[in-house]
Amino acid sequence: MTNSEEYIEVAIRIDPFSEEMAEILTAELSELSYDMFLTEEPFLKCYVQKELYRSRELKVVLSGYPAATEYKASMVQGQNWNRQWEESFQPIVVDGTVTIKAKFNEDVPKTRFNIWIDPQMAFGTGYHHTTFMMIQRMLELESYIRGRSVVDMGCGTAILAILAAKMGAGKVFAVDIDAVAARSAWGNARWNRVGSKVETACGDASLLQMNTYDVLLANIHRNIVVQDMHTYARSLRRGGHLLLSGFYDADVPVVCAAAEAQGLTFAGSSSREGWSCLEFVK
């Protein structure tokens, strides 16, 4: 388990600057546990938990890209991160049905499902494309989710867990390996008045072995998804649905191979700005 109240910010100067190069570096550094990125031309600002920062690994990646001319690493405290998050976060509206907003967002129209988040850190808000697609697939499964058990693995702010509860799930289990994220999920579930349905826990996929579920949601990095696929499959009930995102289109063959090796059947996919979302059935 980790505690992400302390992050390292790596500001990489890109010269000449291009969005394409920023996206390439984002993909490369995602492999090194960097989990948040901000583009402030000519810089790409990358964030990694303090205990996961490795300067040598960073230098190896950057050495392959002449446009990444220099970088500066500095400590970022949770309070400063919150300020950056608040300045950049915009409400997310999915298909006119689901709205995700923060306490400082004003004059946001109400939709059928309204989710308020008050994060202590920026969990579950950086990868809007993957969150968007996961929500779309959940809406397609609404009739199936109603009354059933759902687990949100790597829950972050618990956006997906809260939505499942508001869609009528019988019980929702929200899990994150980060202690700050787990606390944030607990608070957000109660703020959205679904605390009685959403149980939160801090830990990894091994916690899933305590039960079986009808729907398993995992919006996590490709390497984690592939690593834990066996556990996901074992934790699903027969006929259950597995929704996966958090990885790029190029990662789809690897993720599909891992799922099919565990006896899961491909049931559909979607793509948004280079990010993918996959659905499997047991």
pLDDT, tens digit (0-9, with 9 covering 90-100), for 32-82: 878 777 888 899 999 888 888 999 999 999 998 999 989 999 987 655 555
Residue length of the chain: 282
The first and second tokens of residue 278, run together, are 């996959």
Domain-ending residue, one of 40, 65, 83: 83
Nearest to 99 by CA among 107, 86, 111: 111
* Structural domain total, the chain: 2
Whether residue 193 is contained in a domain is answered as: yes
Q: Which CATH number is 148's domain given?
A: 3.40.50.150
94 and 66, same domain (yes or no)? no
68 and 94, same domain (yes or no)? no
Domain-ending residue, one of 58, 83, 108: 83
94 and 69, same domain (yes or no)? no
53 and 97, same domain (yes or no)? no
The C-alpha atoms of residue 171 and residue 151 are separated, in whole angstroms, by 8
Q: Is the pLDDT of residue 214 over 70?
A: yes
Q: Per residue in 101-153, pLDDT tens?
A: 877 777 788 899 999 887 554 455 544 688 899 999 999 999 999 999 999 99
Whether residue 128 is contained in a domain is answered as: yes
The C-alpha atoms of residue 51 and residue 261 are separated, in whole angstroms, by 33
Structure-model confidence comparison of residues 79 and 216, the more confident one: 216
62 and 187, same domain (yes or no)? no
135 and 275, same domain (yes or no)? yes
153 and 229, same domain (yes or no)? yes
The runs of H, that is alpha helices, within the chain are: 19-30, 55-62, 78-88, 128-140, 142-145, 159-166, 179-191, 222-235, 252-261
Whether residue 123 is contained in a domain is answered as: yes
The runs of H, that is alpha helices, within 42-173 are: 55-62, 78-88, 128-140, 142-145, 159-166
163 and 74, same domain (yes or no)? no
CA-based diameter of the chain, in Å?
54
Whether residue 1 is contained in a domain is answered as: no
The C-alpha atoms of residue 208 and residue 236 are separated, in whole angstroms, by 9
Domain-ending residue, one of 18, 52, 83: 83
> Which sign, positive or negative, has the C-alpha torsion 241, 244, 249, 255?
negative
User: Amino acid identity, residue 206?
Assistant: S
Whether a cis peptide bond, with omega within 30° of 0, leads into 16 is yes
pLDDT at residue 39, as a whole number: 81
97 and 157, same domain (yes or no)? yes
pTM, entire model = 0.76
What residues make up the domain containing 129? 90-281
Q: Per residue in 224-273, pLDDT tens?
A: 899 999 999 999 999 999 999 988 899 999 999 999 999 999 999 999 98
User: Residue 110 CB: number of other CB atoms within 10 A?
Assistant: 8
Q: Which CATH number is 34's domain given?
A: 3.30.70.920
187 and 276, same domain (yes or no)? yes
